[in-house]
Amino acid sequence: MNESLKILYLAAEAAPYVKVGGLGDVSSSLPRALIELNDTNHNEFKIDIRLVIPFHGGIKQRGYPLEEYFQFSMDVEKQDIPITVYKTVLGKLPVFLISAPMIDVDGPVYTSEPEGDGYKFTLFSLAALEFVRQIEWKPDILHVNDWHTSPAAYAVYINKYKNLFFENIAIVLGVHNLPFLGVGAGTVLKKFDLIPAYNTDLPRWAQDAPLALGLLSADKIVTVSPSYAQEILTPEYSSGLYYFLLSRADDILGILNGLDIDCWNPETDQNLYKNYNLMKLSNREENKADLQRELNLPINTDIPILAVVSRMDQQKGIDLVFPALNQLSQSSSERYQTWQMVILGTGNPSLEVMARQLEAKYPEKIRALIRFDTELSHRIYAGADMLLIPSRYEPCGLTQMIAMHYGCIPIARATGGLRDTIVDYDQSRERGNGFLFEKALAKDFSDTLQRAFKNYSSKNDWRTLQINGMKADFSWQQSARQYLHLYQSLINKNSRLIK
């Protein structure tokens, strides 16, 4: 490998250092999967990717082994802001953490204050660019994610003709959830000399919104599933940017997120009561019985266990769960009345109250656990029979992939990444790995649950569903190759051919 493909990957979070949502998984897994291609591809180049994240206060408290790597200062409104860069390694992946006032403060990673978050993440984004400039490591690709690191994309975009260091850097923007545009952070951008994008195709209200500026700046826009790439080009899902996104349609594509198989593997998962795989699927019943015991539910492995492992949010369609379950319980058929359920998650207070009320209404069969509990989530995937995912929209979703990998059957709305990963079960052809419904309506959800219950009553049908799901390949290798192909196409377009 004589030449290198240099990729600067910026994200607001990355597991295991800090993880709030799916971005934390992707920012950790994708760069590592790309590095692993160095051992498998046959090209004469080396992938040199560097992950840069903020040194959040919570990371400091966990005491990860870090070395102080570099120091410099930035001029912000005629004030020198000291920046310290720390380095660590995640497998073979170099990870750099940027520390500065307003970045390493204690508190949540994200807040509801757009100006505060805007300052923190804009400072981080521009500090990451200044860091690589000072160490003279010029990336071929700048890969930013969501609104928090979009200021870096916009800075390169408006300065590429003024500063030779930024010339010919191709920009990739990962969109994980379009509605979070960073609206309200625009006043902060001006402090960093990032002026609004006047005289562009952006609507006036979005000309200083960080993610909108990222969408304007990027050479390629990548959503986290193919279906979501199509959905954001519709009025319903475009978050007010319909005509602008249509103008960029040729540069928008979707690459499905992968699943960290090292973390989510029922054969090796230390959180489970008993490990299992396709050849030892009967061991799964012991996990189900022990889950019932842990939740203080009647132990009966013939009863289907339904599960929700999710953020309590309207986007996730959690409000559809409660009327759908009530419809099941009021059915004249005993088949639809006999089930147990566990709800795990936090979020919207009103939805948390509804979950607790549902448990109070059906104390003999529902447990509402309003908390974040990673270890328990592993045991739920391994012991529950059906995972309920009635999302109104879902850019990608990892929960359905985890569920299928653990032999838990997803019942989901056909949207975004759910549509791309779940194949609706066709009993006559023994094809499918879950159940889908089209409209975000409680009745449609309930009808699909009833269809799942009918198939659950047949052990052969249910085993077919489990096997189909567990055989699906959701690993990062295929997605990483698609990203590599994208990067190469951008390099070739810029006349810097990789041989």
Q: What span, in angstroms and rounded, lies between the C-alpha atoms of 140 and 28?
A: 20
DSSP conformational letter for 408: P
82 or 336: which carries more pLDDT confidence?
82
Q: Which of 363, 388, 385, 396 shows the shortest CA–CA distance to 465?
A: 385
pLDDT at 360: 95
User: Using an 8 Å Cβ cutoff, are 488 and 5 in contact?
Assistant: yes
Domains, the chain, with CATH or none: 3-258+477-493 (3.40.50.2000), 278-472 (3.40.50.2000)
| CA distances in angstroms from 37 to 33, 170, 280, 478, 485, listed in the order given | 7, 21, 31, 10, 12
| CA distances in angstroms from 242 to 57, 238, 395, 415, listed in the order given | 37, 5, 17, 18
Place of tokens 């200083």: 208
| Mean local confidence (pLDDT), 13-30 | 92
Question: For the chain, what percent of residues have pLDDT higher than 90?
Answer: 84
Q: Which of 126, 164, 159, 132 shows the shortest CA–CA distance to 48?
A: 132
Centre a 10 Å sphere on the Cβ of residue 331 and count the other Cβ atoms it contains: 14
Q: What span, in angstroms and rounded, lies between the C-alpha atoms of 238 and 245?
A: 8
pLDDT surpassing 70 at residue 273: yes
What is the tens place of the pLDDT at every residue in 379-417? 999 999 999 999 999 999 999 999 999 999 999 999 999
pLDDT at 316: 96
| Phi, psi (deg, nearest 5) at residue 9 | -110, 115
**Is 411 in a helix, a strand, or coil?**
strand
The mean predicted confidence, pLDDT, of the chain is 93
pLDDT at 162: 82
The encoded tokens of residue 492 equal 């070739």
What is the tens place of the pLDDT at every residue in 116-164? 999 999 999 999 999 999 999 999 999 999 999 999 999 999 998 788 8
Centre a 10 Å sphere on the Cβ of residue 270 and count the other Cβ atoms it contains: 7
Question: For the chain, what percent of residues have pLDDT higher than 70?
Answer: 97
Q: What span, in angstroms and rounded, lies between the C-alpha atoms of 152 and 154?
A: 5
Q: How confident is the model at residue 426 (pLDDT cuts 50, 70, 90)?
A: confident
What is the tens place of the pLDDT at every residue in 209-231? 999 999 999 999 999 999 999 99
| Mean local confidence (pLDDT), 493-499 | 48
152 by Cβ neighbours in 10 Å (0-12 / 13-18 / 19+) ranks as buried
| Mean local confidence (pLDDT), 267-283 | 95
Q: How confident is the model at residue 329 (pLDDT cuts 50, 70, 90)?
A: confident
Q: How confident is the model at residue 499 (pLDDT cuts 50, 70, 90)?
A: very low
pLDDT at 494: 65
pLDDT surpassing 60 at residue 496: no
Which secondary structure element, helix H or strand E, spans residue 282, and what is its range? none
The encoded tokens of residue 174 equal 């990962």
pLDDT at 430: 75
pLDDT at 1: 47
pLDDT at 2: 54
pLDDT at 497: 37
Q: How confident is the model at residue 42 (pLDDT cuts 50, 70, 90)?
A: low
**Is 142 in a helix, a strand, or coil?**
strand
495 or 261: which carries more pLDDT confidence?
261
